[in-house]
Amino acid sequence: MTTRAADIRSTLRHGHSSIGAWLTLPSPELAECLAMCGFDWLTVDLEHGAISVETAARIFLAVERHGVAPFVRLPSADPYLARRLLDQGCQGLIVPVVESAEAFVEFAEHCLYPPAGRRGVGLSRGNRFGESFDAMLTSFQPLLVPQIETRAGIAAAAAIAALPMVDALFLGPYDLSASFGQPGNFATPDFAAAMAEIHRVCAETGKAPGIHQIAPVFDGLDARKAEGFRLIAFGSDAQAIRHVFAPLKA
């Protein structure tokens, strides 16, 4: 069974870029508008957004209609919340503040069906309430993307990237700069060294480096690609609206 997640995984493994965006507002309709814009994936932000699990499930339906893979950024490495979201059709999980390979393995086992892991098996929307149960059980693997956003995460990045179930490392620039004592300052030697480490371990393990280009401007997107990032979140629903209508305030 080929899923959109499998297509994105193949794109990344062949060294190409995959572009998505962040969803922070509890609106399936707005999510569907973004899904019509050519993104590969859209991430429901359950860490900082105002979206419930129930609304996330409706968003999954809205974006799937347009061939877009629904991802979720979890509020924490909560394996049981991850199971619920996967059962509702989530195809990729971005996990914040990952600081050890061992902890990520423990989490990831809950996202993979036996024998690879120990995800609970049930009939749900993710397997069309049983219609595609056998295919999902044997061939589906969600994209798993740990976020590296602390000193401890950088120290463990090589071990985390080497895990076979990891598809990409997603840099959290604001939290990482805060971890170095200078929130929002991306010009420090510590931050530059951290960026270099992420790119080094991703190159060595064949994993994709990821980042969020917060401002929805194409020059910024091109710059992130030029820096070697390949799993790129390009703006968000709220930022896109602000960017378009901000000139009214001038």
Give the residue numbers annotated as catalytic, written as ranges: 48
Tokens of 165: 């179930």
Q: How many CB atoms lie within 10 A of CB 113?
A: 17
Q: Which residue has the tokens 């690609």?
A: 225
- DSSP for 100-133 reads -HHHHHHHHGGGS-TTTS-PPP---GGGGGGTTH
Q: Is the four-CA dihedral 125, 127, 128, 130 of positive or negative sign?
A: negative
Residue written as token pair 């339906």: 61
State how far the Cα of 205 lies from the Cα of 202, in Å rounded to an integer: 5
Residue 115 neighbours by CB distance under 10 Å: 6
In this structure, are residues 28 and 58 in contact, taking their beta carbons and an 8 Å threshold? yes
Q: List the one residue out of 207, 204, 222 whose CA is nearest residue 148.
A: 207
Alpha-carbon radius of gyration of the chain = 17
Of the CA atoms within 13 Å of residue 127, those in its CB half-sphere come to: 22
